[in-house]
Structure 1
Amino acid sequence: MAAKFTCIRVITAAILLILLPATTFSDLSSDRAALLALRSALGGRSALWNVSEPNICLWAGVTCSSNHSTVIELHLPAVGLSGSVPPNTVSNLTNLQTLSMRFNSLSGPLPSDLSRLSDLRNLYLQHNFFSGPIPGSLSSLANLVRLNLADNNFSGPIPTSFENLTRLATLYLEKNNLSGPIPDLNLPGLVQFNVSNNQLTGPIPKGIAEKNPKSAFEGNPLCGQPLNDLCDNGVGHSTKKKGKSLSGGAIAGIVIGCVVGLLLIVLILLFLCRKRREKGGVRSKVEGGTKQSDVEMAREKPGEGVEKDGVGGGFAAMSAKMKEKEKGEGNIAGGKSLVFFGKVGRGFDLEDLLKASAEVLGKGTFGTAYKAALETGITVAVKRLRDVSVSEKEFREKIEVIGKMNHVNLVPLLAYYYSRDEKLLVYDYLPMGSLSALLHGNKGAGRTPLNWETRAAIALGAARGITFLHSQGPSISHGNIKSSNILLTTTYEARVSDFGLAQLVSPNPTPNRVAGYRAPEVTDPRKISQKADVYSFGVLLLELLTGKAPTHSLMNEEGVDLPRWVQSVVREEWTAEVFDLELLRYQSVEEDMVQLLQLAVDCTAQYPDKRPSMVEVSSRIEEIHRSSLQDPAADIIDETEEKQA
């Protein structure tokens, strides 16, 4: 009898082994049919799927389960999809967990049969042209965590049945044509909510109002908190206090009073200007009329206030000030001058520099940077240091170390000047500016997108420059790594600037834009370890990948830094959502982007000993960059199609 049962078990196991591959094949066949049906119904780059490839898990944007038995994610963001999504296409991907078709041109109603996707956790359909009501059947998606239908043409009410979505954490419905009241959704896990710019009416439910800012409701005729419009007896009519209207005589009196007051202010200003000119004339006569006033260097905004021919302040004003002080010290002939490094040709001296046209490039942590165009045709960048806290001897020793550092990915220090009142550093001038300006400066229609290959190359160049700094000794660090200190050549090669200056200045209160890069263990800006540099570089990588500034990464909420935001996104399994929209065109290198993202997360680990060294960081970026260059064909196709469009 025992032998009989053993035989039956063996036969049963054999049958299961035979049937299991067939079941797996059947699942993938069904998913393949669904994807092909979707491809034939929609225009866009889904048509570029290589249908001759039998393994759909290798198709762009398609992610399968670990055993390759079924499709669990479909990512088709910003790929030019158009048309209506027909029923029995996406809904036939029955094991789908993430669906992203955002930033396309999809139209028509949302298929109600999406409710069949019982495992769906993330649904991203924002920035399309979907219309009609939001299907109430979506409320049957019990596992749904994130729902984003913003920037569409949906109309009608918000389904009250959304209260059944007990796991929902994100509900974005802004910029649609939704009407009616906001349902009182009792969803404790709902932490991201936005219904702004619709046609919703009535009072804002108290439970939702308490958790969300005013911006989540603006652009609707709503009432109640957090908006300023009060509700009338709770029925949705807003009431505003009306002040008494002014009579015509009162208005005329106010106008006359304003005119008289303005005339008095003008007369006072003219009187003060006249007195000041008279005082200046007396001083000129006493001093022989040749001395320039002791004014500070110009404080124009970056890119403004070019001073021609050394007239009108800037270097010329400082020149007069420095000459006068050196005259009193008997240093005018053999006094202090520029100290050059290495084999730099002395094509100019301090006098030439101070006579140059000066343009303010920007104000940073350590001082103001200027573009100086010398009369000889040479253009250099000059940094005027502030709050230098070390002695002259220590300053010269540390600057000598900085000046001797020579690497292709560092901005070379050409020369410096030191006096009691002025400390100047002279660098090569790079006309392309900084990575920060390139990422965050021009957001208009004329902006040149920063593609993946360029970003990867910038990351590699910056990593190599910092790795070289760290190789000079365990106590050598940069101390102020941020995107505004990564300068670019005309071919977008990265050059690291401002290295070593953190040890020369007083530890002033840190601006928010610097704090976003600073490692959590750093308390003294002058004492930054190499592992703290790694943290800052990790934030820089996140900035490159997300396109977001370090301290303004999530809805401009204060206190939410970039590493925390990225980690929260990755933790919720919607990794693709962190990338800059300009990078989503390059689907062929999505795996490389994810690898660089993981490296950035490793670099921004909370504890220093958990972070890699810069040598390891450079090596990993080099591998990723090399992988990206092996198959650039997809990116070329993307760019060609974009130009044709």
Structure 2
Amino acid sequence: MTVNFSCFFLLSVLVLSSRVNSEPVQDKQALLAFLSKTKHPNRIQWNSSTSACDWVGVECDANRSFVFSLRLPGVGLVGSIPSNTIGRLNQLRVLSLRANRLSGEIPEDFSNLTLLRNLYLQDNAFTGEFPISVTRLARLTRLDLSSNKFAGPIPFAVNNMSHLTGLFLQNNKFSGSLPSINADGLDEFNVSNNSLNGSIPGSLSKFPKSSFAGNPALCGGPLRPCNPFFPSPEPSPIPPETPGEKSKNLSVGAIIGIAVGSTIIALLLLLFLILCLFKRRRQPPKPVTAPTGSVPPAEAGTSGGTTERERNKLVFFEGGIYSFDLEDLLRASAEVLGKGTVGTSYKAVLEEGTMVVVKRLKDVAANERVFEIHMETLGKMKHENLVPLRAFYYSDDEKLLVLDFMEEGSLSALLHGSRVSGRTPPNWDSRRKIALTAARGLAHLHVTGKVVHGNIKSSNILLRPDHEACMSDFGLNPIFSNTASSSRFSGYRAPEVVETRNVTFKSDVYSFGVVLLELLTGKSPNQTSMGEEGIDLPRWVQSVVREEWTAEVFDVELMRYHNIEEEMVQLLQIAMACVSIVPDQRPIMQEVVHLIEDVYRGETDDGLRQSSDDPSKGSDGYTPPIELRTPARSVTP
């Protein structure tokens, strides 16, 4: 009994001593490395012979096994944060380095601080773009980067930090437009005193004006209304006069002279305005819209005619269904639909209730004549699975396209926006129909129009209420410079496009194959836009199939449906043929249409016709160049 008690006592002493002497060795080394590589005054005195948990500004967990919090506000730290120091504190929850003289960019290894809840870096001199490493800290609740020298755009990747309750970015040099930030849990938000422009997303309009003040080119929400198609920044404020300026010492005669001169100038301007109005009234009005038979052929032409291509005129295409002019468009209420790779799209609601989409193109390199000729070509593309181009506008400052508004939105929103928008994920029949009708639209572009789409991705596939697909944003690459267009659809680009920057019919087939994989897997190949490293979707699918886990490829939302395994594998075979690395091994789009039609096994009850004389409806005599070597595992709901 005495022996047992002695053993128990000895064991207890060992346990207690181990707790007392516990030391976060790796965290201590990281902190010492940080302090030794960063200039600082003598206010920080960390003794390497004592426990890091007892140092000023350092807080450990209850067991003293790791550093929980590092708070060093206003202690005179100077210079950049060395890499491989603070980034090694992978158990850190709170980091405060505010009110120092730190500069440079935030180290990339900050992305290792995955458990961080609060990050305070305000009142320093940090530079560079918004730190992408910080956007990977998904558990952050408070982020304060205010009063630094950060520049560039605020990335959409801030949405990765889905637990944020406070985001403070004021007093920096951020530029560009505000991304659509999910503000459901966001209680405090501030981007004042930057160089932001454009419209404030609706999700952020709940915050007060003070959150956006000091950005003269921002509009919408709590600020002034936007003119979405011809925005002009507010004039720079006139600085107040300082004491001692001459304006305060002007004589009475000088003041009278200024007043008389101003009156004369105002009268001259008024006379000039009256003459301009009188001259304009004397000119007969000219038609703007050119639907079939509404204006003489000499004026209308095939796409509006040269007489309509006057300044401030929309050019409508023959057979159009709309009747409005540019002034109607400017008076329309507008809502931002999305900021894509070729420009920003707006939903414009005209006074009579007509809804259209107006796309403001950016980075256009083509001159007016080349632009008009190319728009004429695209305006002739008519097919039930293409979004028709209705009109265009060209000026030195603005290039606009007018298209039909599709209420059902895009395939991207249907697949990946279900949780946010409340939509139910598409079932197998819908996905199959989308694949076939999108293929038919693309085949029509290739065969009948001889036009390369060049920008195929799920956000450019729009849907009708019956879930038939319509291809949008097609054929626009030639009006952009190679440099501007080379990165327009990362994740969907064929390997040869990455190298040559030239899009072809075969590269379109590759991009369409990626869309098919997106339909089957439910995964987006363009996750880089969300601040992630992104996935090479074709390579991922090949790796899964190679390991004989074919069924693991498919979207879990499809697991609830019975007896579709064979059809899913067939469509997967078609997709894998399309994304072949070698362009010549890819099928042409007519063959893709026929292969997808075969997946229907001759079904016609859903209104999807089988192949006809139209080359976009499919062709015979083609088999997939590859086969899955293993059948799909049984899929159960």
Calculate the TM-score normalised by the size of structure 2.
0.49
More helix, by proportion:
1
